[in-house]
Amino acid sequence: KAGVTQTPRYLIKTRGQQVTLSCSPISGHRSVSWYQQTPGQGLQFLFEYFSETQRNKGNFPGRFSGRQFSNSRSEMNVSTLELGDSALYLCASSPGQGATNEKLFFGSGTQLSVL
């Protein structure tokens, strides 16, 4: 079974631009969660999608958005980039039946640098 695939691996953008990141979950997994990872804040939850619907959302501004397609692939978008958005963005997939019963399968992440 193929693992979670994230593209691109690296991105360099300038302030004010927007960016779209992609995540393909493990086949059969319907839940996709997104995390921001920084040295100072660790792993912070952005949002989770299941069956094309956002089920949960973390404490991030509205500049961070996402969507999920019918094949469970997910994208996240960050608009009006700020320097503080520089981070490793990770997506994780799981079957989607509930966090208390499932472990997360992570992709290798997209390293975003905002200049």
Partner 1 sequence: GESVGLHLPTLSVQEGDNSIINCAYSNSASDYFIWYKQESGKGPQFIIDIRSNMDKRQGQRVTVLLNKTVKHLSLQIAATQPGDSAVYFCAENRGTSYDKVIFGPGTSLSVIP
List of residues contacting partner 1 (CB under 8 A): 4, 6, 31, 33, 42-43, 45, 48, 55-58, 90, 92, 94, 98-101, 103-109
Helix (H, G, I), strand (E, B) or coil at 32: strand
- CA 47/CA 69 separation, integer angstroms: 15
Nearer to partner 1 by Cβ, of 15 and 52: the residue is 52
Task: Tokens for 3, please give them.
Answer: 């693992």
Nearer to partner 1 by Cβ, of 18 and 27: the residue is 27
Helix (H, G, I), strand (E, B) or coil at 70: coil
Nearer to partner 1 by Cβ, of 72 and 107: the residue is 107
